[in-house]
Chains A and B, each alone.
Chain A
Amino acid sequence: MNEHANAALHCVDVLKHVCGDNDIYNDTPLCREIRKHLDHCPGCTNFLQSMNKTIELYQHYHPNVPADLHAKVVEALRHRTQDK
Chain B
Amino acid sequence: MDHSDNSVQDPESKLIDLAKQGDGKAFGELVKQFEDTVYSFAFKVCRDHEKAVETAQDTFVNVYLKLNQFDGKSKFSTWLYSIVANNCLMKRRKTKLEESSVSIDESSDIRVDDLVSYIVPWDPDPAETLLTNELKNVLDEAIKKLPMEYRVVFVMRDVEQMAGEEVAEVLGLSLPAMKSRLRRARLFLRNELRPYMEVKP
Contacts and interface: CB of A to CB of B under 8 A. Distances in A.
Nearest to A68: B53
Label chain B's interface by main secondary structure: helix
B116 to A, nearest CB: 8
A54 B109 contact: no
B143 to A, nearest CB: 7
A19 B110 contact: yes
Interface size bucket, A side? Answer: 35 or more
Interface in A4-26: 5, 8-9, 11-12, 15-16, 19-22
A66 B49 contact: yes
Contacts of A43: 115-116, 118-119
Interface of A: 5, 8-9, 11-12, 15-16, 19-22, 42-44, 46-47, 49-51, 53-63, 65-66, 69-70, 72-77, 80-81, 84
12 contacts: A46-B119, A50-B118, A54-B190, A58-B44, A58-B143, A63-B39, A65-B36, A66-B49, A69-B39, A75-B57, A76-B58, A81-B64
Interface of B: 28, 31-32, 35-36, 39-40, 43-44, 49, 52-53, 56-58, 60-61, 64-65, 109-112, 115-116, 118-124, 127-128, 130-131, 135-136, 139, 143, 154-155, 157-159, 161, 164, 178-180, 182-183, 186-187, 189-190, 193-194, 197
